[in-house]
Structure 1
Amino acid sequence: MTEGVLRDENRDRTVPYRLYAPASVEGTYPVIVVSHGVGGSRESMPYLGRRLAESGYVALHLQHPGTDSSVWQSATSLPEVYRSLRQAMWNAEAARLRAQDVPFALDEIARMNREGPLAGHLDLVRIGMAGHSYGGVSTMVAAGQRMGPGGRWSFREPRIKAGLVMSPNVPIQGGDLAALYRDIEIPLFHITGTADGNAVPGNKEFDPIQRTVPYETLAIPHQYLLVLDGAGHNAFSGLAHGPHAHGPERLTRYTRIVEEGAVLFFDAYLKGEKEALAGLRGEFRSKLESADRFEWK
């Protein structure tokens, strides 16, 4: 695991990253871009980065300035933390910059494949994305979800071939969801929990079932839905103190199932492994509890 920063001179923006790669770099590896939730950082979801690297992927965990941990670190009380997070979530300019971080990161991945220790080892054709909460939204946006009033803005990134979407939200502008999703054409694995409520307490009433709406709305094939019984919003960050704070790792049955499902999904849809697809639609269910829900289109 290595850390660093990516500098985008065109936007005058610095994007921190954490990179997980196989211990012994030989051959070429598909790449997964990983995006954190609001108030998070490149330290989020370390279990996923490690497992992907162990499974023959390079995982690039981005940190998005303006919606990362910097927005709350100067707060002096918990209510102030939540207020700062809400402001970041509703900041349209921050959302635009976050969306633009993805194509910038993909350009940087191409540069890494030309120079440095990973030169020649990155498969630029097989690229996926994963995200939690606001990072799930970022993954949906890269897949083709439209943004802004009437869905007038698109940040669809055709280099992304498959996406893992944890704790997804419906677009905050509302409207015709089928129209906002009309450009999505890639396989997506939607993951949530029966207790996956508000990302920011005190925001508004939120029924966790709403996180299944993106899956239910999309009519295209190769969409998967996993609802883990009892899993709350923090279940997928892999951190003990939640997605909005730094802290020790917290590994649970939920993180184990996420990493197992993620590898099968990406092996199937990025590496094209028929055995992985069969495992995702077969043996994977045996790892779940009876109250969990798993289905696909």
Structure 2
Amino acid sequence: MMGTVLFLIALICEVGFVIYCMVTKQNHKKVKNWMRVAVFAAFVILTLLSVIVWSFRWFLPAILLFVMAAKGAVSLIRNKTTIIKYKTTSIVWKSIITILALVFAFAPSIVFPQHKSPKVTGEYEVATATYTYIDKNRIEEFTDKGDKRFVNVEFWYPQKADGTFPLLVFSHGATGIKSSNTSTYTELASHGYVVVSIDHPYHSFYTVSEDGTRAVINSDYNLEISNLNKEESIYTNEELYGLIQKWMKLRTDDMNFVIDTILEKAKTDKKPVYHHINTEKIGVFGHSMGGAASVWLGRERNDISAVVNIDAPFFSDLVYKKEIKDFVASSEPYVTPLFNIYSDDVWGQLESNSLYAANKTNNESFKEAYTTHFHGAKHLSFTDLSLFSPILATIMQGGKADIDNYYALETENDLILKFFDKELKGIGKFSPKEAY
């Protein structure tokens, strides 16, 4: 919002100045120079007063406004008396160039608006740590170099705290990144949890290892996801079932490797984060494809005591029936405590889309699961992208959410906290409403 406001102010000043010059038939160079010096001074004052919170989004506007102000100041100091003949075309073209420069400079602050973080309510200060784990038992399938599979992780955990805390493992969405739900991790860590979020290399939009190695989303995988999300899928259900198995194997292999690595490090590693982990209390959660992988792991591992599924199909419980060329739900009971959070995007498909055959609320295999639905929420309402870049979130999820973004995230975080408190700490009650 702040970027849009400042851009509009700069735009109005520029357009107003051009109109003033055209009406008076004069260049008013001195007025323009003073105006640009004043605009930069206002930008600096707003930054010093923390109205503008300095970040990457303000880098380009600062450079542009400084250059314009510096040029104006030099001109004022020289105080040339040479009268330049007024030309409307010259004034207009210079203004167009300035406006284009303003659009370019303020684009980051508009696409990624300055925003306040969702509230953090716990008693603990939160520390973070980032590591790269190398899986010596897997070859990286997305490259032809024969490298071992690497997985980047980031921890959020209670700082300056005594004792151990439950471990929570998060998996991001189909093309997400490990920081997609930072507000959730921070809230949970502030209440006494060690949260680790995984970047799944080549499934994540991008990831950077400890040694600086970068990996961006694999183009073939990205195309598969894009094709899946089209209104008319180009895949048969049998082909789609094969893709699901491939995606889930990579995701669950990563999650299993990370959990096993952490459990081993908790025994021997001297780093503070590992000392805080209660290895007997483990929960997993994730958004979209990460939620599907979490449900899968909850069925696969005996040491997982709680699962949160955020807006995802139960891929682990889909069976492809060749005779009907469609998916049906497995009949095997799901015994790990499970909490489902759905947006309108997914809620509307539970009965109509066979990919969600196992998610149906009347599925006896999941009769003990908790389920809630957020009215007005879209798929990305449950990630920090809804605040970090509302424009991108709207484009990616195919429309603007009707729910307040802060309400959605803060309510989601509170519900997840209460669920894990009940299942992993044995404290409090958990009785979510059917809808929010």
Question: Same-fold call, TM > 0.5?
Answer: yes
Deviation at 1:208, TM superposition (A): 6.0
Among 310, 318, 325, the alignment partner of 1:166 is 310
RMSD of aligned alpha carbons: 3.1
Alpha carbons 1:38, 1:244 under 8 Å: kept: no
Alpha carbons 1:192, 1:212 under 8 Å: kept: no
> Matched residues in 2 for 1:24 and 1:251: separation?
32
Higher strand share: 1
Alpha carbons 1:39, 1:72 under 8 Å: kept: no
Deviation at 1:121, TM superposition (A): 2.1
> Matched residues in 2 for 1:235 and 1:212: separation?
23
- Residue 173 to residue 68, structure 1, CA distance change in 2 (3 Å): farther
Among 349, 352, 356, the alignment partner of 1:207 is 349
Give structure 1 stretches of 5+ with no counterpart. 145-155, 198-205, 286-291
Which residue pairs with 1:288 in the alignment?
none
- Structure 2 counterparts to residues 131-150 of structure 1, below 5 A: 131-144=286-299
Which residue pairs with 1:103 in the alignment?
256
- Structure 2 counterparts to residues 91-130 of structure 1, below 5 A: 92-114=245-267, 115=269, 116-130=271-285
Deviation at 1:37, TM superposition (A): 0.6
3-state DSSP class of the match of 1:231?
Answer: coil
Identity %, equivalent residues: 22
Corresponding letter in the other structure for 1:93: K
Higher helix share: 2
Which residue pairs with 2:329 in the alignment?
177
Deviation at 1:170, TM superposition (A): 4.2
> Matched residues in 2 for 1:45 and 1:219: separation?
29
3-state DSSP class of the match of 1:252?
Answer: helix
> Matched residues in 1 for 2:338 and 2:310: separation?
10
- Structure 2 counterparts to residues 183-202 of structure 1, below 5 A: 184-196=334-346
Deviation at 1:219, TM superposition (A): 3.7
- Residue 82 to residue 97, structure 1, CA distance change in 2 (3 Å): closer
Deviation at 1:251, TM superposition (A): 5.0
Corresponding letter in the other structure for 1:110: L
Which residue pairs with 1:268 in the alignment?
422
My pick for the range that moved more, 169-178 or 251-260, is 169-178
- Residue 220 to residue 85, structure 1, CA distance change in 2 (3 Å): closer
Give structure 2 stretches of 5+ with no counterpart. 1-127, 139-147, 207-214, 229-239, 321-326, 397-403
> Matched residues in 2 for 1:230 and 1:57: separation?
30
Q: Deviations over 1:60-88 (max 9, x none)?
A: 0011123221597587xxxx996353479
Deviation at 1:26, TM superposition (A): 1.3
- Residue 142 to residue 183, structure 1, CA distance change in 2 (3 Å): farther
> Matched residues in 1 for 2:195 and 2:395: separation?
21
Corresponding letter in the other structure for 2:197: H
Among 155, 162, 167, the alignment partner of 1:26 is 162
If asked which structure has higher relative contact order (CA below 8 Å, sep 6+), I would say 1
Which residue pairs with 2:190 in the alignment?
54
Corresponding letter in the other structure for 1:236: F
Count of aligned pairs between the two proteins: 253
Q: Deviations over 1:76-122 (max 9, x none)?
A: xxxx9963534798364343121111221111111331212134321
Corresponding letter in the other structure for 1:167: D
- Structure 2 counterparts to residues 254-293 of structure 1, below 5 A: 254-273=408-427, 276-277=428-429, 280-281=430-431, 285=433, 293=435
- Residue 157 to residue 207, structure 1, CA distance change in 2 (3 Å): same
> Matched residues in 1 for 2:244 and 2:328: separation?
22
Q: Deviations over 1:160-212 (max 9, x none)?
A: 11001000214365433133xx2521110000122348xxxxxxxx7366669
Corresponding letter in the other structure for 2:129: T
Q: Deviations over 1:138-180 (max 9, x none)?
A: 0110012xxxxxxxxxxx011111001000214365433133x
> Matched residues in 2 for 1:139 and 1:244: separation?
26
Q: Which has the larger radius of gyration?
A: 2
Residue 41, structure 1, aligned to residue 41, structure 2: no
